[in-house]
Amino acid sequence: MSDFVEYFLADEQTRAIGMYVEPVRDGRRLFDRLRAARARKPMVILKGGRTPEGLVAAAPHTGALGGSDRAWRALEQQTGCVLAEIKLPPGCSIANPVNIPGGNFRKDSGAATSILDAINRLDRPQAPVMHLNMTVFKGHAQAGTLDMLVEAALRVKASHPGRSHFVLVLRSDGDPDLEEQRRQFRARAKASGIPVFDELTNAGTALAAVSRVERFVHTRNAS
């Protein structure tokens, strides 16, 4: 990591430096490089493993220690670099598809709305597909979480009208209670203009057809 920092600091074509950092084997050397640079180039660091859960996940990748969050905050203050936060719950995947473990929503009721809003606002996707495996939330204790997720989809759809084809996939294992929930959720989603499918393959088939029609219309209008 320190070698990369030293190289890009010396590279005349590099105007800013962004790094994703997991545990660092030689923290002192990295600190010295950043301190000597005196922030002459903007430097943003996304540090993996700053939370206890993240530290457990990141440590096996390198076998090195991640250090405390206080130490990284001190590095930020003493070197002029900037620590970024993605603000997603631990265990999340931010690649497409975004994958969020069900347990995270029970800890943070606003996570679903924040994630969906960020995707629509920043990536502006043509067709966001929200897939909910209802079996993860089986049982009366989990019913509130599932309801919250569907409400998040409705709120985000309402806050980004006409921007994209928002699709909801509600997957069930046939449990009578889940089927009744799915029926209720389907009615609420359809009332808000959100198509609901039982499987991802069904949603993909429908969206592929929509895409073909839109391309055809666009071609005719262009000609």
* Residue 29 structure tokens: 């050397």
66-87 pLDDT, tens digit per residue, is 457 788 889 999 999 999 877 6
In SS3 terms, 132-154 reads as EEHHHHCCHHHHHHHHHHHHHHH
pLDDT of residue 205: 96
Burial track 153-182 (b if 16+ CB lie within 10 A, e otherwise): bbebbeebeeebbbbbbbbbeeeeebeebb
102-153 pLDDT, tens digit per residue, is 767 766 667 788 888 888 887 888 888 999 888 887 765 566 788 888 888 8
Q: How confident is the model at residue 63 (pLDDT cuts 50, 70, 90)?
A: very low
144-199 pLDDT, tens digit per residue, is 788 888 888 888 888 888 778 889 999 999 989 889 989 999 999 989 888 999 99
Domain boundaries, given as residue ranges, for the chain? 2-84, 102-222
Burial track 55-78 (b if 16+ CB lie within 10 A, e otherwise): bebbbeeeeeebbebeebeebbee
d(CA 46, CA 176): 45
Q: What percent of the chain has pLDDT over 90?
A: 35
| CATH class of the region 2-84 | alpha beta
Q: Where do the H-state alpha helices sit in the chain?
A: 2-10, 27-37, 52-62, 69-79, 102-107, 111-118, 140-159, 176-191, 200-222
